[in-house]
Chains A and B, each alone.
Chain A
């Protein structure tokens, strides 16, 4: 199974590293989209078929939390799973993210294997 994946991070370097980790994980990728913030991500989600989103929390223009909130309010986007990729270690904040509709949380630094496990867990492998 191959997926259309969207990576959202304000750092071009981090986007490249996550994209590479996805490639190395062996998870099937049909198309890989990238966005520098939540607003760019919503624009892409509005015009492309995306199966899974990996997003940072802190980004200029629109952060990951607001992006998820807007996705949940949109009938076409609300079922798309979002994985937050962050250095965040606060269980309190992670609990809040999960309650807001985030499907999974991946703490940096992560391995391609950890990423694959997350993808498989969400996509039902």
Chain B
């Protein structure tokens, strides 16, 4: 089942706004900075169809999400400690809502626990170049989001 880019964009922006009070606008995936440390969070889903959702962004954006998630200043020691968990939670919530938007409320999906890893600039550029990867400007910081679905029974 194919997810429209408009749906993925709308759901991600809504979750980001409601959960961490950050606003996301469209960004051309060719307009990414050529420096900085990036991380990627990825999770998988299985049900009537399967697939994955991944979110890549600079570490500073990850800290900003965690700070807003906790309602603390970005330099609070708790923020760095919870940065990975916060990113996982945003991805998890976005994935749940995208699946409902795509498949409705009847199908049951199992979601994996998201994992976070460092992303080299080379791998980030490769992700940005993939068809279906969407770019976002999250209040001045770039982010990449990729929702990929595979029909059950298809490899």
Question: Which A residues lie at the B interface, using CB under 8 A?
Answer: 11-14, 16-17, 20, 58, 86-93, 107-109, 111
Q: How many interface contacts (CB-CB < 8 Å) are there between A and B?
A: 61
Interface hits, B24-50 → A, CB 8 Å? none
Assign chain B's interface to a size class: 20 to 34
Does the CB pair A17–B69 fall under 8 Å?
yes
Does the CB pair B19–A90 fall under 8 Å?
no
Cβ contacts under 8 Å, B88 to chain A: 11
Check if B106 is an interface residue, CB within 8 A of chain A.
yes
Cβ contacts under 8 Å, B97 to chain A: 87, 89
Closest B residue, CB atoms, query A87: B96
Cβ contacts under 8 Å, A14 to chain B: 85, 89
- In the assembled complex, how far is the CB of residue A17 from the closest CB belonging to chain B, in whole angstroms? 6
Q: Roughly how many angstroms separate A11 CA and B70 CA in the complex, as a whole number?
A: 13
Closest A residue, CB atoms, query B18: A109
| A17-B70 in contact given A11-B88, A108-B93 (Cβ < 8 Å) | yes
Query: Apart from A13-B89, A90-B109, A92-B108, what are 15 other A-B pairs with CB-CB below 8 Å?
Result: A13-B66, A13-B85, A13-B86, A14-B89, A16-B78, A20-B71, A87-B92, A89-B99, A90-B108, A92-B107, A108-B19, A108-B89, A108-B96, A109-B18, A111-B18
Does the CB pair B106–A91 fall under 8 Å?
yes
Q: Roughly how many angstroms separate A108 CA and B107 CA in the complex, as a whole number?
A: 18
A-contact bits for B118-132, CB 8 A (1 contact / 0 none): 000000000000000
